[in-house]
Structure 1
Amino acid sequence: MRARSDQNRTLRRRSARLVDLRQTEKQTTRTKIRTGRAGGEVNHHVSPLVSIADHTSAISKEPSLTEQLKEAKRHLRETEKQLRVEQTIGEARREGYALVEGEKRELEDTLGELEGKLGELEGKLGELEDKLGELQGENDELKGGRADADVELELKVKDLLLDGAGCLKCQIAKSDIYILPACGHIFCCICLRSHFQTTLSKYRQRIDANYRLPPTTYEDVRYLVDVQSDPEKTKQVRAQYDNARRQQHPAYHCLLCHEVVRGWVPGGKPVRLQAMGKMIQIATSLGGGPPPPVEVEVENRYMDCWNAFWLNPMLFARFLPELDGVRIRVYAESRLEVVSCD
């Protein structure tokens, strides 16, 4: 800034000097003109060429003034150039300053708008955070309600499954559930075995230890002894037949509909429902309940435990055809004896 001030002062001094030179030149010219006019009045017959020559010679007598004038003009042109350059630079700077100020104002306005929008967005963000908190609270409540609903649904499913899969006698759902093929009713192993054992015990109590075969049976045996003439075989057949009749089991019935359970027929004994037992285990585990009670039985004995109730009828059926054959032969031979006697 100081250098620029010095330069401006120098330019002002030069401009003042140039103005002084111009004024001096004007005064000289005026003096010469006045001198020429005076000479014309004295000798108005002198030609204009002489006046011009005199004027030229007068100017040539002052070479230093001309050089100074040229130098001043040159400095004036340079000064004017510098002034124009400085004016251009100043205008450019002013335009730049104006542009910068305009952009600055625009940026300030834009910044103000953005700050206003930021405030609005922060307000909306606060509202959204409040709503999010409310929704999270509702979500937690819904989760709690859903968990309770799931537990309630599991309990309902459990009740429905166990109601339809429980034993029809004790109304308890157990994993060892059996079905009677004759009627389709289901019972647990304990109830079936208890019912069959009770029926068998009552039947055995009604049988006298001195129970004997009917007379017709003894007659058949007498004919058998006469024909076969083999006391050992006669005793064996008689003992088997007598034991079979004495130990024959009663007819077992369903606990609900009293349908006869034909255990001596293939497929007539109670059948264990494996799939239903597994379903009962799954249903019982719903809702965190205890597992269903399981009978302490070896797996491969489930079917054999029912065979014991029909073991003697099976043996009886095994040698009954032999007895029928003996009866037929005895009857045929007895008929032949009667005919021969006649």
Structure 2
Amino acid sequence: MAPAYDAILIVSFGGPEGPDEVLPFLENVLRGKPVPRERMLEVAEHYQHFGGVSPINEQNRQLIAALQAELDEHGPHLPIYWGNRNWHPLLPETLAEMGRDGVKHALAFFTSSFSSYSGCRQYRENIAAAQAEVGPTAPQVDKLRVFYNHPGFIEPMVESLAACVAKIPADRRAAAKVLFTAHSIPMSMAENCRYEVQLAEACRLVAEGAGLAPAQWELVYQSRSGSPHVPWLEPDVCDRINALHAAGELRDLVLVPIGFISDHMEVLFDLDTEARELCDELGVPMQRAATVGVHPRFIQMIRELIVERIDASPDRPALGSLGASHDVCPANCCLYSPQRPASGG
């Protein structure tokens, strides 16, 4: 018997909304992490390049408005709350508000398509810490499953990639290169989660859906931080662009930020600014595919995940061979520590 739910909680990363908020926000993000201050100040300049405003909060507001309209029209008729890890509205603030409103049991949608410590387990830890801070009035929170292979995520990405490929002259399309990008994570984090496996599957599904040949596409990474002595997932997107160009294999390029559901700072700076400037220098025509954002099929997917969980439905759509992800994470799922078990979730 599925539990009764009385609210939806959108859980996200958060971002500054003015120049004075950039450093306090980044200090929250990097607290306890071995990231040199010089790197933090470098990232701060990325935000200041856009007026000190991250687009992620406004994009979450748009997502919430679109989802609320979807729920109002089709049900279930549940209120939506929003809490962030690193900036206002912070999760303790939101859970306290939910408690005051009498919410007892919420379903959480994390704005991350893939399993990893930072994209899933850490958010669950953030919720647990917020519940402890708020006390007995804090609601219980269950997360929805990751959706990297759900038709409602894959189909809009196929549409976006196909639209970019269609802009390439017909006689050059077969030789065009497509680089799918995702946020790099430390190897020590990647070894105990299914991040790389899920990314590879999502890329394959989107590439095949858009009619690409296997040799046309690759998965690369972006936005790494931390000590340069700590290994992270590679290759970096700009490094790979340079290598392909040096090998004479790059005439047209499409970048597909499959690791992101909206056009937030990493997309705007690392791809739309740095990668585009590099391509301009190399004389390579570059296009960047849109993220799912508030695509109607993606918003419909969120509602479908909510209904699926409320109804305890055995019908759990998932494309490809990996099947639908679990609803309840195992105890060792996506662990990230110096003492890691050999297997992960």
Query: What TM-score range do you get, normalising by the shorter chain?
Result: under 0.3
RCO comparison, higher one (Cα < 8 Å, 6+):
2
Q: Decide which structure has greater strand share.
A: 2
What TM-score comes out, normalization by structure 2 length?
0.17
Larger Rg: 1
